[in-house]
Structure 1
Amino acid sequence: DLSPEGIASLREMSELNLLGWAAGEWFCDRKQLMDAIADAEVVIAGYECFDDALLAAAPQLRVIMSVRSAPEANIDVAAATARGIAVLHTVGRT
Structure 2
Amino acid sequence: SSELLDPGIECLPAQREVGAIAGTASFGLGRLFARLEPPHDGTVSVAETRIDGLADHLELPVSHTGLVLSRPVADAVARFLHQGRFGD
What is the TM-score with the length of structure 1 in the denominator? 0.27
Larger-Rg structure: 2
What is the TM-score with the length of structure 2 in the denominator? 0.28
Higher relative contact order (CA 8 A, sep 6+): 2
